[in-house]
Amino acid sequence: MSDAPPPVVSRNPADPSDILVHVPAPGARAATRAVERARAAQPHWLLDGAAARSAALGAIAAAVEAAADELTALAVREVGKPVTEARAEVARTAAIWRYYAQAPYEPTGVVHETAAGPGLLLTRRRPHGVAGLITPWNFPFAIPSWKAAPALATGNTVVLKPAPEATACAQRLAEIVQQAVPTGVFTVLPGGATEGNAVVSAADAVSFTGSTVVGQAVTLTTTARGIPAQAEMGGLNAAIVLPDADIDTAAAHIASAIAGYAGQKCTATSRVIAVGAALGPLREALAERLRALAVGDPADSATVCGPLISERARDRVIEARRGLPAVATAAPTGSDGWYAAPALVTDLPPGHPLLHEEVFGPLAALLPADDLAQAVRITNSVPYGLVTSVHTATLDATLHGLDHLDTGMVRVNAPSSGVDFHLPFGGTKASSSGPREQGHAALDFYTSQRTYTLTPALPSILA
Ligand code: NAD
């Protein structure tokens, strides 16, 4: 029996006979060599200076924009992202590169007075070396970019190990980035767990996004190696709806957060908590919204809910809702794609797996709460803590939520899904570990702080 890792395969989830990538896995040694090449390139990349790094990132932003139609079509085909969302992701990807193109000019430290005597005390942030990036398939351009752009801006080089399901998108992104940076500065290494683990075992800093089980294993390795790491993992996000909310608007936000991109976002809503009298009207409004939602071909601009990423993912969604009362839309028929109908399940028995496990599909549970305090307790009762949406018209309820919810992000009168890339992104508990991603937080993550003490050689001259 061969120990070779399985081949890297990527298929169109809307038409699984359409194979985008089928190549042998490069293996662990190729991953280690990629990191070594990136390490050799790193000092030169840093010495090229702020202007060169800024210009490169700006050029990448422009190239992503110029290729927007083609990149959008590729994301639709490879990961089944509905075309409207795919287009928005590509636009966001360009914006991310442009945002970080300014970062090389940011100050890297501060100056302090000495406690006593002449001299200067300085701090300065320096890159780690090689950033090993391990990414999922669900944001095939944006997630690699929101990791790679700050890593490159601060003078690191990058080895990206994308999810096998998003290999073609990552390779296309690599072509664009490599046009703008010197050889060895940005490498995409296709593969799965073997290659991912090899990158984690060799890089100087690791940024991971994916499932909690893999993220925790990655974090064990990086902790043992004593290198900086961040892991963004699963979610089981709640939407809390108070009776004073605009129920129709809340239902529109929540339906999109349940079923948009077939619920395959870490920020998707999977629990809807209706407080008191909100329950009846919300159930009706959500049922109407979900039934009206377009499920089908991701290339159709009306589609909100496309296919699941794999047959296994589709079967997991179907299994998770088996036997549960639900408000559901019909999955498209006559297609071989991996579709599952969006569903809002009701009357869950206590302890049901949907109340504590992430399914990663277009599925949510409707739960009643007597009051806001109970809704917050239900929200906080799960092992995850990524994001909560709160729907209310009152400031008091908003403030109570902000004070007592234990998720890393709270979004008021907005869907749980959707992020602003210039602010810190991340959660608590099993959703995240390590420093935050995005915004200025990312510039901190990809650098470590140095403290310099400068003392004159001849203090008597200054006296
Ligand atoms: P996954 O954990 O299966 O894979 C993620 C990445 O890890 C892939 O590149 C995979 O090849 C790699 N990998 C697998 N085993 C590895 C190992 N032993 N060592 C190193 N790397 C390894 O996740 P997925 O199915 O690609 O993505 C879905 C998950 O990602 C969901 O749980 C979702 O919640 C999560 N996610 C989280 C965020 C966030 O920011 N919190 C964002 C998007 C997705």
User: How do residues 161-210 score in pLDDT, each as one tens digit?
Assistant: 999 999 999 999 999 999 999 999 999 999 999 999 999 999 999 999 99
449 by Cβ neighbours in 10 Å (0-12 / 13-18 / 19+) ranks as exposed
* Predicted confidence (pLDDT) at residue 381 exceeds the cutoff of 60: yes
> In testing the pocket of ligand 1, which one of 9, 221, 266, 386 has its CB within 8 Å of the most ligand atoms?
266
Do 217 and 366 sit in the same domain of this protein? no
Cβ of residue 218 lying under 6 Å from some atom of ligand 1: yes
Residue 415 one-letter amino acid: P
User: How do residues 11-27 score in pLDDT, each as one tens digit?
Assistant: 999 999 999 999 999 99
Smallest CA-to-CA distance from 157 within 311, 11, 294, 43 is with: 43
442 by Cβ neighbours in 10 Å (0-12 / 13-18 / 19+) ranks as buried
Cβ of residue 214 lying under 6 Å from some atom of ligand 1: yes
Do 86 and 205 sit in the same domain of this protein? yes
- At residue 441, the pLDDT reads 97
8 Å CB contact between 422 and 438? yes
Do 225 and 373 sit in the same domain of this protein? no
CA of 407 to the centre of ligand 1 (A): 20
Tokens of 190: 């296709």
Do 12 and 156 sit in the same domain of this protein? yes
CATH number at 388 reads 3.40.309.10
Task: Please check whether residue 420 lies inside any domain of the structure.
Answer: no
Task: Please check whether residue 331 lies inside any domain of the structure.
Answer: yes
8 Å CB contact between 138 and 261? yes
> In testing the pocket of ligand 1, which one of 214, 219, 225, 357 has its CB within 8 Å of the most ligand atoms?
214
What is the distance between the alpha carbons of residues 201 and 334, in angstroms, rounded to a whole number? 46
Question: How many CA atoms lie less than 13 Å away from 352 in the CB half-sphere?
Answer: 20
Residue 316 one-letter amino acid: R
- At residue 462, the pLDDT reads 58
Do 217 and 245 sit in the same domain of this protein? no
Query: What residue numbers bound the domain in which 97 lies?
Result: 8-233+431-452
* Predicted confidence (pLDDT) at residue 255 exceeds the cutoff of 70: yes
Q: What percent of the chain has pLDDT over 70?
A: 98
Average pLDDT over the chain, rounded to whole? 96
Tokens of 223: 């902790």
Do 194 and 269 sit in the same domain of this protein? no
pLDDT band of 458, cuts 50, 70, 90: confident
Do 224 and 251 sit in the same domain of this protein? no
* Predicted confidence (pLDDT) at residue 2 exceeds the cutoff of 90: no
What is the distance between the alpha carbons of residues 100 and 182, in angstroms, rounded to a whole number? 18
* Predicted confidence (pLDDT) at residue 401 exceeds the cutoff of 70: yes
Do 155 and 287 sit in the same domain of this protein? no
Atom of ligand 1 nearest to the CA of 212: 32
Tokens of 275: 């407080």
Do 187 and 284 sit in the same domain of this protein? no
CA of 216 to the centre of ligand 1 (A): 11
Residue nearest to ligand 1 atom 5, measured at CA: 210
CA of 238 to the centre of ligand 1 (A): 21
What is the distance between the alpha carbons of residues 454 and 61, in angstroms, rounded to a whole number? 39
Task: Please check whether residue 2 lies inside any domain of the structure.
Answer: no
Report the largest interatomic distance among the alpha carbons of the chain, rounded to a whole angstrom: 88
CATH number at 116 reads 3.40.605.10
DSSP letter assigned to residue 243: T
- At residue 150, the pLDDT reads 98
Do 328 and 394 sit in the same domain of this protein? yes
Q: How many independent structural domains does the chain possess?
A: 2
Between the alpha carbon of residue 134 and those of residues 169, 214, 416, the distances in Å are: 14, 10, 24
Task: Please check whether residue 424 lies inside any domain of the structure.
Answer: no
Task: Please check whether residue 388 lies inside any domain of the structure.
Answer: yes
Task: Please check whether residue 463 lies inside any domain of the structure.
Answer: no
CA of 234 to the centre of ligand 1 (A): 9
Helix (H) or strand (E) holding 387: strand 387-391
- At residue 1, the pLDDT reads 47
Residue nearest to ligand 1 atom 43, measured at CA: 266
Residue nearest to ligand 1 atom 16, measured at CA: 193
Strand partners, 122: 111, 452
Atom of ligand 1 nearest to the CA of 358: 32
What is the distance between the alpha carbons of residues 285 and 168, in angstroms, rounded to a whole number? 39
Do 347 and 204 sit in the same domain of this protein? no
Tokens of 423: 């602010």
Cα angle 329, 362, 73 (rounded to 5 degrees) comes to 100
What is the pTM for the complete model shown? 0.97
Do 85 and 113 sit in the same domain of this protein? yes
